[in-house]
Every structure is written in C-alpha cells, then in structure tokens.
Amino acid sequence: MTSLMQPFFGMMLLTLLVWGLMYVRRLSFLQRQGLDPQEFVTPEKITGLVPESTNAASNNLKNLFEMPVIFYALCLYLESNQLVDNTYVMLAYGFLIFRVLHSVIHCTYNRVMHRFSCYLISSVLLWAMLIRIVFNS
C-alpha cells in the first residue's frame, strides 16, 4: 500500500526535534550566562542576547513553518482523495530527506550555500508535487 503518512509524520518529528534542540540550547545558554528569563521577553531581545550558534535552531524552526506547510496540505489532499502513487511517495521522501539535511546544516555548521542547496532541491520536489497535482486533476 502506498502512503504519504511516513514522510508526513517524519516532517512533524523533524519539527519536534528542532523545537527540542532550540529549548535545550536556549536554556543551557541562559543557565551558563546566569541571565534572567525575563530578558528573553521578545524575539528581538533574544536575538540581541544570544549568539547565532544558540539561535540557529530557532531560526530553523521558523523555516519549518514555511514550505513544509504546503507539503502538509498536499499530503493531506493526496491522501484524502486517494491519489497517492509511487511518484508522489518518492517526491515526498525526497522533500523530507532534503529538509532533514537543511535542518542539520542550519543547526550545526550553517554553511549558507550547503543549506541553500538542500532548500532549493526540497523546494523543487515540493513544486513538482504541486504541479503534478494541478496537471493530473
């Protein structure tokens, strides 16, 4: 049986992991520096107080609520209309794999062109899913 639910939930799991990493890094930084949590009252204040290496997971988490939202909608549309086939599954897994790579790069060494390459490939796979839906409907 062909399903998009594994890559669908894989993206959600990736979001959970990045969210957890963000809090671990922020709380560790807060404790190491002896900062009052009230100093983190706005995103702008956090950015001003926290080094980029600590903020990388937060920035990546924001990314996970951009293009992946379209991915979720497409997966739900395809599943609910019983249109899933092997091509959609391969595109969905490709999207997931390159989003995982994007997140790993963003949350670790953060080389912009490496990160952008993963973003671009994942986006092309996502747009291929959408275009295929449009032309097959």
Instruction: Please give the backbone phi and psi of residue 45, each rounded to the nearest 5 degrees, phi first.
Output: -70, -40
| CB half-sphere exposure, 73, CA atoms < 13 A | 10
Contact 21, 70 (CB under 8 A): no
Q: In the prediction, which pLDDT does 35 show?
A: 87
Q: In the prediction, which pLDDT does 1 show?
A: 60
| Architecture category of domain 5-136 in CATH | Up-down Bundle (1.20)
What does the pLDDT look like over 58-102, one tens digit per residue? Answer: 999 999 999 999 999 999 999 999 999 999 999 999 999 999 999
Listed by start position, the domains of the chain span: 5-136
Joined tokens for residue 28 = 């560790």
Amino acid identity of residue 105, one-letter, is I
